Amino acid sequence: MTTKRTSILERYFYLFMSLLITFVVVYGFSFTIDQNLLHPRIKPPQVVYVHSFVFSAWLLFFILQSALVRSHNVRLHRTLGWVGAGFAVAIVVLGYTTSTAVLRLAVQLRLPFPTVSFLFVEIMELVCFAVPFALAIYWRKRPDFHRRLMLIATCALTEAAFGRIPSLPNVFAPAGVDALILLGVLRDMIVERRIHKVYLYALPTMIFLQIIAEYTSVHQSSWWAGIGNFLIR
Counting the structural domains of the chain, the total is 1
Query: What are the Cα distances from residue 68, in Å, to 12, 45, 57, 75?
Result: 12, 36, 16, 9
The torsion angles phi and psi of 39, rounded to 5 degrees, stand at -130, 65
> What mean pLDDT is predicted for residues 217-222?
83
Residue 158's identity, in one-letter code, is T
User: What is residue 38's DSSP assignment?
Assistant: I
Residue 164's identity, in one-letter code, is R
Instruction: Express as a percent the part of the chain with pLDDT over 90.
Output: 61
pLDDT in tens, 176-185: 999 999 999 9
pLDDT in tens, 187-207: 999 998 999 999 999 999 999
pLDDT of residue 218: 83
pLDDT in tens, 82-119: 999 999 999 999 999 999 998 888 878 777 666 788 88
pLDDT in tens, 36-89: 888 888 888 899 999 999 999 999 999 999 999 988 898 999 999 899 999 999
Which range of residues forms the domain containing residue 99? Answer: 2-231
Burial class (CB in 10 A: 0-12, 13-18, 19+), 34: exposed
Helix (H, G, I), strand (E, B) or coil at 219: coil
pLDDT of residue 93: 96
pLDDT value at 169 more than 60: yes
pLDDT value at 1 more than 60: no
